[in-house]
Amino acid sequence: MDVLERLAIGKNLTEEEALESFRAMYRGDMPASCVGAFLMGLKTKGETSMELACGVRAALEEARLVQGLSGKRIDTCGTGGDNKCSFNCSTAVALTLAAMGYDVVKHGNRAVSSSCGSADIVEALGLPLVVEPDAVPAELAKNHFVFLFAPNFHPVFKRIMPIRKELGARTLFNLMGPLLNPARPTHQLLGVPTARFVPLLAEALNLTGLQKGAVVHGHGGFDEISPFGPADVMWVKDGWMRKDLIDPKDYGFGAHKQSDVVVSGRDEALGVITELLSGKGPEAMRDMIVLNLGVCLHLLEDDLPLRDAFEKGMEAVKAGVAAKVFPNVINA
């Protein structure tokens, strides 16, 4: 049965069908009209974790992958799309982790749903947006942090981008970004803006061979753990998954409002990130960093309980460890 016909009647694709379809799309062997029909067919039917993982696998076959890395390395990339105009929490978490001595391979782009994207923050702090795969190991060795600017590592998406814009609807590609890190992290904190995506992305992570990860959906519709209420969490470890709920108040965090983490634009976003990385800034934002940082520490340290991970994260944030490692933060 033809792939588009299967999708039209709501049938899931086989692994072989999904892989070959995505490969044809990326290589330019699928007409633009069929690309649109394929993406909308998947969306209407409802993408499976296997179909998503096949899309990732085929994309990585065409990507400029990073070689020569070993040991634990973590990414904190979310899908975006929560439209909350919040400060860039994931980048603050990434830089703090790096300052604490953990290797961070941050995969990201410019702003989509936030006021200032991770690439904008990294540039403003004077850190490079790495272009060449062979430059990644040396850059990571400098201070445990490297930023991989997504467009530089996935050239095939330039061909698909015009079609996505014409469709004007969210598709599976809006979920794929965090799964496409060319440095292939061993650990990952992945945020999604909708609770129903939590198990889908967790299953997809398992299929991509991640060692340990957490897929989270924050209270209030955030694609990271928020300090406003319980967060949906799915822990992932070597093919195993466990559903959980993290309620900030259970760990001693105070109550905050969603408006407490909103920034009005690029200038305010850059200003507040500088304060936060120096141990200052609004308490709600600091708590949000600690919540996500603590989950990362819990993933990276096998014997570190979550409560202790939050305490360790709070100490690091209050001490402004990132400002001590990244001097441009201090001089900003």
> Do residues 210 and 188 make contact, with C-beta atoms less than 8 angstroms apart?
yes
pLDDT at 113: 47
List the one residue out of 237, 208, 273, 202 whose CA is nearest residue 60: 208
Do both 28 and 165 map to the same domain? no
Instruction: Report the 10 Å Cβ neighbour count for 285.
Output: 24
Give dist(CA 34, CA 25) in Å, integer. Answer: 9
Q: Check whether residue 303 and residue 240 sit in a common domain.
A: yes
Residue 112 pLDDT: 54
Whether residue 67 is contained in a domain is answered as no
Mean pLDDT of the chain: 92
Same-domain pairing of 57 and 87? no
Calculate the CA dihedral of residues 74, 78, 84, 89 and round it to 10 degrees: 10
Question: Residues 289, 216: one domain?
Answer: yes
More confident residue, 109 or 73: 73
**Residue 22: enclosing H or E segment and its boundaries?**
helix 15-26
- Please tell me whether residues 94 and 192 are part of one structural domain: yes
Q: Which residue has the higher pLDDT, 81 or 156?
A: 156
* pLDDT value, residue 52: 96
Which H/E stretch holds residue 30? none
Name the packing angle between helices 49-62 and 15-26 (round to 10°).
Answer: 40
Same domain? For 86 and 140 the reply is: yes
Question: Which residue in the block uniquely carries the two structure tokens 């709070």?
Answer: 314
263-268 average pLDDT score: 86
User: Based on the domain organization, do 131 and 280 belong to the same domain?
Assistant: yes
Instruction: Evaluate whether residue 69 is within a structural domain.
Output: no
pLDDT at 332: 45
Q: What is the mean pLDDT of residues 204-225?
A: 94
Q: How many domains does the chain have?
A: 2
Q: How confident is the model at residue 111 (pLDDT cuts 50, 70, 90)?
A: low
> What are residue 235's DSSP bridge partners?
214, 242
Beta bridge partners of 233: 216, 244
CATH of the domain at 306: 3.40.1030.10
Question: What's residue 137's pLDDT?
Answer: 96
Q: Same domain, yes or no, for 38 and 88? A: no
Q: What is the pLDDT of residues 67-108, one digit of tens each?
A: 999 999 999 988 877 777 889 999 999 999 999 999 999 998
Q: For the sheet with 74-75, list strands across it.
A: 129-130, 145-149, 104-108, 74-75, 187-191, 212-217, 231-237, 240-246
State yes or no: pLDDT of 11 exceeds 50.
Answer: yes
What is the three-state SS of 36-75?
HHHHHHHHHHCCCHHHHHHHHHHHHHHCCCCCCCCCCCEE
Amino acid at 74: I
**Minimal CA–CA distance to 181: which of 56, 316, 324?**
56
Average pLDDT for 126-153 = 92
Question: Which of 208, 148, 131, 211 minimizes the C-alpha distance to 182?
Answer: 148
* pLDDT confidence of residue 297: 98
Q: What is the mean pLDDT of residues 18-25?
A: 97
**Which residues are registered as beta bridge partners of 242?**
235
The per-residue pLDDT for range 269-327, each reduced to its tens digit, is: 889 999 999 999 999 999 999 999 999 999 999 999 999 999 999 999 999 999 988 86
Mean pLDDT of 118-133: 87
pLDDT at 158: 87
Q: What is the pLDDT of residues 172-206, one digit of tens each?
A: 988 998 999 999 999 999 999 999 999 999 999 99
- 306-319 vs 283-300: helix axis angle to the nearest 10? 130
Say what the pLDDT of residue 123 is.
87
Average pLDDT over residues 226-232: 97
Q: Are residues 306 and 216 in the same domain?
A: yes
3-state class (DSSP) for residue 324? helix
Supply the DSSP symbol for 249.
G
* 12: CATH: 1.20.970.10
Which amino acid belongs to residue 206?
Answer: N
Asked if residue 128 is part of any domain, the answer here is: yes
**Distance between start and end Cα atoms, the chain:** 60
Q: What is the pLDDT of residue 77?
A: 85
pLDDT at 328: 63
Owning domain of residue 170: 74-331
